[in-house]
Amino acid sequence: HNILRRKVVIFRQFPPSPSDPEWGSCSLGVFICLTCSGIHRNLPDHAKVKSLRLSRWEDSEVQFMAENGNEAAKSKYEAQVPVYYYKPTHKDCQVLKEQWIRAKYERLEFIQGKKPLVYEEGTRDGMLMKRGRDNGQFFSRRFVLSEREGTLKYFTKFDAKEPKAVIKVDTINASFQPEKIAHPNGLQITYLKDFSTRNIFLHHESSKEIVDWFNSIRAVQLHYLKVAFPGASDIELKPKLTRNFLKEGYMEKTGPRQTEGFKKRWFTLDHRKLMYFKDPLDAFAKGEVFLGHQDLGYSASLGLTPGAHCNGAWQHGITIKTPERSFLFTCETETEQLDWFKHFNEVINTPMSPQEYSSEWKNGHLLHQITI
């Protein structure tokens, strides 16, 4: 009776909800979601997974779950997770979730007293598949990450003496884009080149290898930031590491005179920078707009400005006003319109940091002048 009662108590902690864990790892004593249950089944020593509602549970298994649980597992397997290591959420792609789970439970990377991690070696040198800027084909390229130099370099040939590009780590953003790149391990790196945002698209057949690169970049970035801002705490520096884009997708746009035809373009909202591309895999943005704070004259509104002629296929308009001019966009559906509008307003209503005030003056006015 006590065991039966414990079953009811344990399993009722998780009411039926898409975001709640309805599976359990009998090997680890943790409750997991459906997506993670598939990954756990592939762990060599921890593959025993059961549904909380559909599977038959032995009394000993229920006892094990009761004696362990997620908090106990976290204190053991996440005892020393570095600040720079990216902990995925339910919104992240499969490769990040898989490698996070394997790092914790299979490789035991974060347990107390573990040796220094591979991401902290200060340098990384290896081959990644890089998409060609013009022909769209992927070629093997050598990449070298250096903490001492604060750079990421890539070479067109393994034995090349001079790099094709030298990228400063403080300008790098990296985000996984499996759908856009059409590869489960696809990674997009963006950086500043001559005041414009440059995109490079990478992948590697090994999911561990590509995630190791990603976290190594974040480790080097954190080292750079600690040197640049010696008085800042880890909590203050963590948001300055790589980040996911706030939103991406198609909208239509018109030109600065607002009489040109609306054209379909791919848009990326990267914090305060709104970029548009003719194709999602373009190397350079065709235009960029800096979104400052509302107190500086920035605003977003539904609909188009009075007198604007919408001659495109899409009718759900958004107007963004900057100190220099207004930008007009249209969305295919009202749902997309409201989602873009929500993100624009969240950015514009967020107070700016001192560094962003500097960017608003240095970059913002330059970006506004780029034809969009």
Mean pLDDT of 114-126: 92
- Region of poorest pLDDT, from 6-20, 172-186, 316-330, 345-359: 6-20
55-71: pLDDT as tens digits:
999 999 999 999 999 99
Residue 4: pLDDT over 50: no
244-282: pLDDT as tens digits:
999 999 999 988 776 678 899 999 999 999 999 999 999
Write out the chain in H/E/C secondary structure.
CHHHHHHHHHHHCCCCCCCCCCEEECCCCEEECHHHHHHHCCCCCCCCEEECCCCCCCHHHHHHHHHCCHHHHHHHHCCCCCCCCCCCCCCCCHHHHHHHHHHHHHCCCCCCCCCCCHHHCCEEEEEEEEECCCCCCEEEEEEEEECCCCEEEEECCCCCCCCCEEEEHHHCEEEECHHHHCCCCCEEEEEEECCEEEEEEEECCCHHHHHHHHHHHHHHHHHHHHHHCCCCCHHHHHHHCCCCCCEEEEEEECCCCCCCCCEEEEEEEECCEEEEECCCCCCECCEEEECCCHHHCCEEEECCCCCCCCCCCCCEEEEEECCCCEEEEEECCHHHHHHHHHHHHHHHHCCCCHHHHHHHHHHHHHHHHCCC
Residue 19: pLDDT over 90: no
Q: Average per-residue pLDDT in the chain? A: 88
Task: Report the predicted TM-score, pTM, of the whole model to 2 decimal places.
Answer: 0.88
71-102: pLDDT as tens digits:
999 999 999 999 999 999 999 999 999 999 99
154-169: pLDDT as tens digits:
999 989 999 999 999 9
pLDDT band at 10 (very low <50, low <70, confident <90, very high): low
Mean pLDDT of 8-15: 49
24-61: pLDDT as tens digits:
999 999 999 999 999 999 988 888 999 988 899 999 99
